């Protein structure tokens, strides 16, 4: 089992990643209610303040996942989150996900945040694989993942219904071996 109880701060050129703080709640709520985030993650905004407060207030206590706030270094503002969760002992893998709210989009912040977390996981832990899924109507995210050496491993057909249309999820993986080939 991979133990991620020790939460870390990761610093890049344009962002830094850190554990969530109570002051982040209004900004992460704004991100989670952003219509584009809801669409691209297949989520709904059917949560209340107390649920949000409890969820983000307990992220420090989770040994089996890592949830970090994405902070724009230029403004000091939270613009999103990166998460690894769903540990699979059979192949020593975890699922990766990211969301970037409106204030952080189209500036490479998500790409850097993704790279920072991948670097940390493969350099500082024994994790063997990262997996993710991205909806086929999100080519921007898929491009970022491919640039960071994730490979397509399959398609989950009709994974989501959006505006009466069925949408596929593209399944991707990045192995430790492929990461170190860079």
Q: Which residues are registered as beta bridge partners of 68?
A: 82
Spatial separation of the C-alpha atoms in residues 63 and 2, rounded to whole Å: 8
The side-by-side arrangement of strands in the sheet containing 10-11 is 10-11, 15-18, 66-72, 77-88, 93-100, 129-135, 165-175, 151-162
pLDDT band (50, 70, 90) for residue 35: confident
pLDDT digits (tens, 9 = 90+) for 128-160: 999 999 888 788 888 899 999 999 999 877 655
pLDDT band (50, 70, 90) for residue 165: confident
Instruction: Give ∠ CA 104-107-110 in degrees, rounded to 5.
Output: 65
Does position 17 have pLDDT exceeding 90, yes or no?
A: yes
Q: Which has the higher per-residue pLDDT, 176 or 43?
A: 176
pLDDT digits (tens, 9 = 90+) for 104-115: 999 999 999 999
Q: What is the pLDDT of residue 168?
A: 79
pLDDT band (50, 70, 90) for residue 167: confident
pTM: 0.91
Where is 82: in which H helix or E strand? strand 77-88
């Amino acid at each position: 089992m991979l133990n991620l109880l020790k939460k870390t701060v990761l610093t890049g050129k344009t962002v830094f990643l850190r554990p969530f703080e109570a002051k982040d709640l209004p900004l992460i709520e704004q991100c989670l209610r952003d219509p584009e985030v809801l669409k691209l993650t297949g989520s709904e905004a059917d949560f209340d303040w107390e649920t949000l407060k409890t969820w983000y207030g307990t992220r420090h206590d989770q040994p089996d996942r890592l949830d970090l706030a994405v902070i724009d270094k230029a403004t000091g503002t939270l613009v999103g989150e990166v998460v690894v969760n769903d540990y699979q002992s059979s192949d020593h893998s975890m699922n990766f996900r990211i969301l970037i709210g409106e204030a952080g989009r189209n500036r490479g912040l998500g790409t850097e945040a993704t790279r920072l977390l991948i670097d940390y996981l493969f350099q500082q832990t024994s994790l063997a694989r990262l997996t993710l899924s991205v909806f086929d109507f999100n080519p921007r995210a898929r491009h970022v993942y491919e640039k960071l050496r994730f490979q397509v491993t399959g398609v989950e057909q009709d994974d989501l219904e959006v505006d009466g249309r069925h949408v596929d999820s593209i399944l991707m993986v990045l192995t430790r071996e492929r990461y170190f080939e860079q």
